Amino acid sequence: MNVYKTNSIGALLKPNDYAGRGIVIGTSPDNKNAVCAYFIMGRSANSRNRVFALENGVLRTEPFDSSKVQDPSLIIYNAVRKNKNTLVATNGDQTDTVVSLMNEGKSFKEALETRKFEPDAPNFTPRISGILYFENGFRYEMSILKSIDENGSDCCRNTFSYPSKPGLGHFIHTYIGNGEPLPTFCGEPERIYTSDDIDAFTAELWENLNEENKISLYVRYTDIESGEYTDRLINKNN
- How far, in Å, CA of 76 to CA of 61, rounded? 5
- Separation of alpha carbons 58 and 77, rounded Å: 11
Position 68 scores a pLDDT of 83
pTM for the model: 0.97
Of all residues in the chain, what percent carry a pLDDT higher than 90? 91
pLDDT computed for residue 3 by the predictor: 87
> Cα separation of 52 and 74, whole Å?
15
**Which residues does residue 128 pair with via DSSP β-bridges, in sequence order?**
144
Q: What percent of the chain has pLDDT over 70?
A: 100
- How is the beta sheet containing 58-63 ordered, strand by strand? 50-55, 58-63, 78-83, 86-90, 127-133, 139-147, 155-163
Per residue in 14-59, pLDDT tens? 999 999 999 999 999 999 999 999 999 999 888 899 999 999 989 9
**What does pLDDT average to over the chain?**
96
Q: Which residues contact 72 (CB under 8 A, 6 or more apart)?
A: 63
Instruction: Measure the CA angle with vertex 227, ends 226 and 232; round to 5°.
Output: 125
How much is the pLDDT for 72? 79
Each residue of 7-16: pLDDT tens digit?
A: 999 999 999 9
Main-chain dihedrals φ then ψ at residue 171, nearest 5 degrees: -130, 125
- Comparing CA positions, the residue from 178, 236, 215, 191 lying closest to residue 24 is 191
First to last CA, the chain: 43
pLDDT at position 45, please?
87
- d(C-alpha 133, C-alpha 162), whole Å: 11
Res 111 pLDDT > 90: yes
